[in-house]
Structure formats: C-alpha cells, structure tokens
Amino acid sequence: MCSDCVRSAPATPAPTLPAARSGFPGRLSRRGVLGLGAAAAAGLTVGGSLLVTEVANAAVKPPTIIPTAEWGAKPATTRIDLSEYRPTYLVIHHMATPNNVATTKAAAYQIARDCQSWHLGNGWGDTGQHFSVSRGGYALEGRHGSLNALRGGKNFPIGIHARGGNDRSIGIETQGTFTSELPPAAQWKTLVQLAAYICQQYRIPTSRIIGHRDVNGSSTACPGNTLYAALPRFRQEVAKLLSSDPGPAPEPAPEFVWAVVGLGDRGFRTKVVQHLLRQSGRSVEVDGSFGPKTEAAVKSFQKAAQLDADGVVGKVTWPRLAVTVRNGSTGEAVKGAQVALNARGAGLQIDGSFGPATTAAARSFQQSAKLVVDAVIGPKTWNALTK
C-alpha cells in the first residue's frame, strides 16, 4: 500500500527550512501580526493571484476526522517535528491499494492501521501522511499531532509523503487506485470537505492543491491518471465550499502548474535554472545544487523583473526566466533546454547550439507531451519539460 508514495519519499524527513522558503504563510507568520483580513486588504498575492476570493468568507465546518487514538494507532517511534509556519501546499495521493474492498468504518480503521504498520516498517516513526480518506468516506488522522495542528491552523507536523515537498505540504492519502477510475461518491465528498477545511485553516489557495506527481523531484504517477485529471474539478468544488460566492472560481490550467525550485534543491531543474540565470547575465556555476549563490542570483533576477524577490523559482518566476529558444538559437538558455530534454530521455550534447539534434529532440518531446509539435521551446514546452 501507499507504494507510489513510499517509493518517492525519503528515508528521513526533509530538514525544516526557514519560514521564508515556505512562501506566503511563512512570511506572514514571521511578521506575526497580520491577520488574513489585513493581508487581503494589503493586496498580497500568491503566485500572482489574489488569495481573497479563495479564503474570504471562509466558514467551512470541519468534517469528522477520526483521531489516531480512536482507530488504534501505535505510538510514534520517533520525535515528530512541528513546523514553525503554515504549509503552503496540499498534496493529494492515492494509496495504490485495491478498489474492491469493504467501505465500513471498521475497514477504514483497518486501512489506517495497515498503513501505519507499513510506514513504521519503513523507519518513518509513524504514518507518513497527515490524513487519509477511506473508500467509505471516513477521514482519519495519520501522523500524530496532525489534527490538533490543523485545528490551530498555525503549524503542522513535518510528514513523510512527498520527497521535495515534505517541509511545506500537507498530504492526504486517498484509499484506492485511481489510474482508471475515480474515487466513489462518498470518498470524493469527504475528500472535498477535508481539503476545504485544510485550505481554510492554513490559508492555502485552492490553486495549491496539487497531485503528488506535481511535487518537484517526484517520479511517481500518484495519485493516478484519473484522479489527477479530475483535480481541476476538485479544486473548483473545494473553492465553492470555501466561498459564499457560488460562481466558478478561476483555476489555472493544469499544464501551468510549475515546479517549485529553491534553496537545498538538487537535480536537473536546478541546472536548468542555473543556465537560465546565466542567460540573464548572472554568473552562477552550473552544478545542479541550489545553494546560497544561486538563491542570490534568483533574487537579483526577481528584483530586476520587479517580482517578489523570495529567491524561489515557481510559477511566477519560471515564465520570466525561461526565454523562448528555437532552431538557430545559441547560448545558455539552449543549454538549459538541452539539460531538460536529456532529463526527459534525449541524449544531447550540452553545447548551447539549437541545431538539428536539439530540434528533433524537442519535436519528439512535444509529441509525447501532447503539445503543439513545432520544436519551439516556449512557455508551454518549458513548463512541461520542468514540471
């Protein structure tokens, strides 16, 4: 069970990063005095979109969440760290367990116990995720302390459910496998209610409800193609519960969910960012390790572009940083594109020259990603290459 998530979670929790890394809520709590109303009045934005429509008028009643003590959880075997800030993402998983199972409360308790045993066996000290929703529509607390923290709305236990995102996200495991079918109605309904309550308590905009596969650094199909494809509708239903306005909430197209790359990240996305920073005239080493120098260069770029200089490359900074390259282009941005194409299976030389080989690799990638096949690496292709 939870096998997708198990494969992509680290053996130990990611270190707790400074609050500033966590975006809006972290920065808010650092200031310590701004309530949400003040933040909204000040026009603070997250990823370019106002929070107001998504959390104003919030009065979502908490769904019934069965606490660890009630379903018979074993005590945690390690210390569970509490963050000093709010989570900024809600990550939806599927357990990759069978769908043809009992939907009773007893069955919900059993799946919670089984999941905890599995995770204890992994050496995670407790259930990895914060909450689970059974196929019968029962919501259960996972990691100890999650429910109390959620009620308080100020912090959360650092979980183990999504490598690269554990320090800034809440995880919900959805019992079942959603590669070709959706959660049954009762489960879906509870999932929407639970997500709405979490978004309300932690001021998480619905655009930040993501699938496990969206987490930077993950290599998983979780939460399954069918549930993943239903996430735009899911976000809308959550937004509707959160708002007294019955109108549809504006939602980003799923293809424009961007990876979040920041301090401490390693890998090809960091290399791409470093090449793009060099393209912009900033001298950083391309070593694939997002250290303080890369962060400083990102801040410098953001300041120059009049963006919020938080040093994190997310959905606002990526489209500005990733310049369009095509046949005949040369330079660092082309090198970045070549690194990204190689991460997607091309075997290109990183020579910064967009010639026939890079053109062919770009076409092939666009075809497989169901994009317009024009070999022009613009915002949509950059997005698909790096998310």
Q: Helix, strand, or coil here: 183? A: coil
Distance CA 110, CA 103 (A): 11
Closest approach, Cβ 179 to Zn ion, in A, equals: 13
Under rule CB under 5 A, residue 14 binds Zn ion: no
48: which 2 tokens? Answer: 């370019």
| Interface region with Zn ion, contact rule CB under 5 A, candidates 5-13, 61-69, 289-297, 345-353 | 5-13
Backbone angles phi, psi at 209, to 5 degrees: -90, 115
Backbone angles phi, psi at 24, to 5 degrees: -50, -55
Closest approach, Cβ 333 to Zn ion, in A, equals: 33
Nearer to Zn ion among residue 93 and residue 387 (C-beta): 93
Closest approach, Cβ 223 to Zn ion, in A, equals: 6
Under rule CB under 5 A, residue 5 binds Zn ion: yes
Under rule CB under 5 A, residue 119 binds Zn ion: no
Nearer to Zn ion among residue 52 and residue 139 (C-beta): 139
Evaluate whether 257 touches 387 at the Cβ level (below 8 Å).
yes
Reply yes or no: is the peptide bond before residue 356 cis, omega within 30 of 0. no
Closest approach, Cβ 93 to Zn ion, in A, equals: 3
Closest approach, Cβ 136 to Zn ion, in A, equals: 21
**CA dihedral sign of residues 256, 259, 260, 261:** negative
Nearer to Zn ion among residue 212 and residue 275 (C-beta): 212
Closest approach, Cβ 73 to Zn ion, in A, equals: 20
Nearer to Zn ion among residue 169 and residue 200 (C-beta): 169
Tell me the residue ranges of DSSP E strands in the chain. 45-46, 49-50, 65-66, 89-94, 131-133, 139-141, 169-174, 209-211
Distance CA 94, CA 234 (A): 15
What does the angle CA 310 – CA 315 – CA 321 come to, to the nearest 5 degrees? 75
Selection from 189, 198, 211, 70 nearest residue 140 by Cα: 70
Please report, as residue ranges, which positions from 93 to 112 form the binding site for Zn ion (by CB under 5 A): 93
Closest approach, Cβ 234 to Zn ion, in A, equals: 15
Closest approach, Cβ 123 to Zn ion, in A, equals: 18
CA distances from 352 to 89, 219, 292, 342, 373 (A): 35, 27, 25, 13, 21
Nearer to Zn ion among residue 4 and residue 237 (C-beta): 4
Nearer to Zn ion among residue 4 and residue 310 (C-beta): 4
Q: Tell me the per-residue interface mask from 67 to 96 with Zn ion, x by CB under 5 A, - otherwise.
A: --------------------------x---
Evaluate whether 331 touches 352 at the Cβ level (below 8 Å).
yes
Nearer to Zn ion among residue 4 and residue 332 (C-beta): 4
Residue labelled with tokens 């890998």: 267
Nearer to Zn ion among residue 93 and residue 143 (C-beta): 93
Please report, as residue ranges, which positions from 203 to 262 form the binding site for Zn ion (by CB under 5 A): 212, 222
Please, which residues bridge with residue 171 across strands?
A: 91
Evaluate whether 174 touches 142 at the Cβ level (below 8 Å).
no
CA distances from 55 to 22, 36, 144, 199, 223 (A): 18, 9, 27, 8, 25
Nearer to Zn ion among residue 215 and residue 346 (C-beta): 215
Please report, as residue ranges, which positions from 120 to 139 form the binding site for Zn ion (by CB under 5 A): none
Nearer to Zn ion among residue 118 and residue 289 (C-beta): 118
Evaluate whether 71 touches 191 at the Cβ level (below 8 Å).
no
Closest approach, Cβ 384 to Zn ion, in A, equals: 21
Closest approach, Cβ 221 to Zn ion, in A, equals: 9
Contact residues: Zn ion, CB under 5 A = 4-5, 93, 212, 222
